[in-house]
Amino acid sequence: MFDIAAAQTTGSGGILGLILPFVLMFVIFYFLLIRPQQKKQKTRTAMLNALKKGDKVVTIGGLHGTIVEITDDVVVLKVNDVTKLTFDRSSISHSTNE
């Protein structure tokens, strides 16, 4: 009627069959989502660390300006001849210097 030996041999391969798809999904997520995001974060951090006085930048909100003062976490931008605005360093989206 019911073969115990046959049930035991098919059960041991079942665990590998359950774990393998999860491992494959993690590997795919790592290479498609996690790794590119880490690479993008590294380049952004390098850009923020390389900012200096006189660089032309664009903020996350789209404001264009030139850096007149810079500290570890604060950037003062000159927007026009008389207007200076203070931003967090992390609010800089990108530098427009070539």
Of 2.30.30, 3.30.450, 2.60.40, 1.10.1760, which CATH number belongs to 53-98?
2.30.30
Residue 70: partners with Cβ closer than 8 Å, 6 or more residues away = 51, 52, 53, 76, 89
Mean pLDDT of 57-62: 95
Determine the pLDDT at residue 13: 64
Name the pLDDT band for 83 (thresholds 50, 70, 90): very high
pLDDT the model gives residue 15: 85
Q: Is the confidence at residue 37, as pLDDT, over 70? A: yes
What is the DSSP code (8-state) at residue 3? -
Residue 83 CA to residue 98 CA, distance in Å, equals 24
Say what percent of the chain tops pLDDT 90. 79
CA terminus-to-terminus distance, the chain: 79
